[in-house]
Amino acid sequence: MDRVVVVGAGVVGASCAFFAARAGWDVTIVDPLPPGGGTTSRGEGNLLLSDKGAGPELALMQHSRRLWLEVAQELGRDSLELDEKGGLVVATTSAELEALHHFAQGQRRVGVDARPVDGDELWELEPHLARDLPGAVLYPDDLQVQPVLAACALTLAARRLGGHVRIGAEVVAAERDASGRMKGVRLSTGAVVPAEAVVNAAGTWGGVVGQRLGAPVPVHPRRGFVLVTAPVGQLVRHKVYTATYVADVASDDARLQTSTVVEGTRAGTVLIGASRERVGFDVTMSPEVVRRLAAGAVRVLPVLGGVDLMRTYRGFRPYSPDHLPIIGPDPRVQGVIHAVGHEGAGVGLAAATGFLVARHLDGGPVPHGMPVTAFLPDRLVTRQEHEQGQGRRLSAEAS
């Protein structure tokens, strides 16, 4: 049985391990933290079609949504806290609404269920919305999972299939034989884990891990904050966010950007986001971010003005220069497969990423229409490196 080490026990790494184990690989997950203990624990667990324009990332999310539903059926919906709540994207001005309708029109052309909403229907969907909002678009297919539970459930499933987990250690280097073929990874403990392939699923630290494996990729941290209210019951029915959120996701601006994102949880708390800024791995608390996020939430849902804030947390989204994830074999180093750079869509894209990684490992086919080439690391390395690695990419994109 071929062996693979998955570096990273977050939801993406756990998904890679699950699909690889299901494909018959002997899998070992390595991470200094417990499953879901890193960036995954700092996310909201969204599986969003609503924030992606027509293109490869949206296509991958459409496949990922289907795969997540299959995983939920296999592992149990409660093990993931899967919630088919749907998303509601609201406009705060007539100009925003016009742009939102244009955006949704493009999504509908590629099969997304995007329904314009205005008038009384808006408050039937969300009774506590501000009364001066001109309209919205409803996305019934947006989902949510509890990200740490999802990572743990996938890890346990991989273990049931014969996988192993090494917690409390970091991968510091790749081990190769005289011909350059991958034979394992060396850990910070000094141990060597034998493997014919290594998956870099280290999230925000994917750039660091890639460097250690001799296969650097441009993955950088983008800090974000989330506010958590005291429990208030099911005050918010959908994931509600403003149309400006989509522009912020795609922006290359390094400065602080905030847009309003509000959603409830099964525990009755309300999660409030979202902020983005490039400050390296700085975890300093920012009262200004908290103020902006709270003000934005109250603007859209005035009822939140009377709700207590229980805590805040912050984490880092792993972004790549073109805002697309990096999924596939490294064109320079045999045996290294990347699964990083998902930015804020890691949870949503985790299922499809794991599936694709398994196909890169075994060379098997992928479903028709599932994008592959758009995410290959080749696009982010030099032309010379690209030419050297042409023979090592996935041979079949569709069957």
User: What is the DSSP annotation of 272-323?
Assistant: EEEEEB-BTB-----HHHHHHHHHHHHHH-GGGGGS-EEEEEEEEEEE-TTS
* DSSP structural state of residue 230: P
- Say yes or no: 225 and 186 in one domain: no
CATH number of the domain to which 275 belongs: 3.30.9.10
- Render pLDDT for 192-234 as a digit per residue (tens, 0 to 9): 999 999 999 999 999 999 999 999 999 999 999 999 999 999 8
pLDDT at residue number 141: 98
pLDDT-based confidence at residue 249 (cuts at 50, 70, 90) = low
pLDDT at residue number 103: 96
pLDDT at residue number 250: 58
Asked which of 279, 297, 318 is the last residue of a domain, the reply is 318
Helices vs. strands in the chain: H and E counts, helices first: 11, 19
pLDDT at residue number 6: 98
DSSP letters spanning 86-97: -EEEEESSHHHH
Q: Are 163 and 28 in contact (CB under 8 A)?
A: yes
Asked which of 318, 349, 383 is the last residue of a domain, the reply is 318
- Say yes or no: 226 and 205 in one domain: no
Q: Which of 278, 247, 244 has the alpha carbon at shortest distance from 261? A: 244
Q: Are 342 and 349 in contact (CB under 8 A)?
A: yes
- Say yes or no: 336 and 308 in one domain: no
* Average pLDDT, integer, range 370-394: 69
- Render pLDDT for 63-84 as a digit per residue (tens, 0 to 9): 999 999 999 999 999 999 999 9
- Say yes or no: 276 and 192 in one domain: no
- Render pLDDT for 169-194 as a digit per residue (tens, 0 to 9): 999 999 999 888 999 999 999 999 99
- Render pLDDT for 3-59 as a digit per residue (tens, 0 to 9): 999 999 999 999 999 999 999 999 999 999 999 999 899 888 899 999 999 999 999
pLDDT at 282 over 50: yes
- Say yes or no: 286 and 240 in one domain: yes
Number of Cβ within 10 Å of residue 55's Cβ equals 13
Query: What is the total count of domains within the chain?
Result: 2
CATH number of the domain to which 203 belongs: 3.50.50.60
**Which range of residues forms the domain containing residue 345?**
3-67+147-219+323-392
- Say yes or no: 200 and 55 in one domain: yes
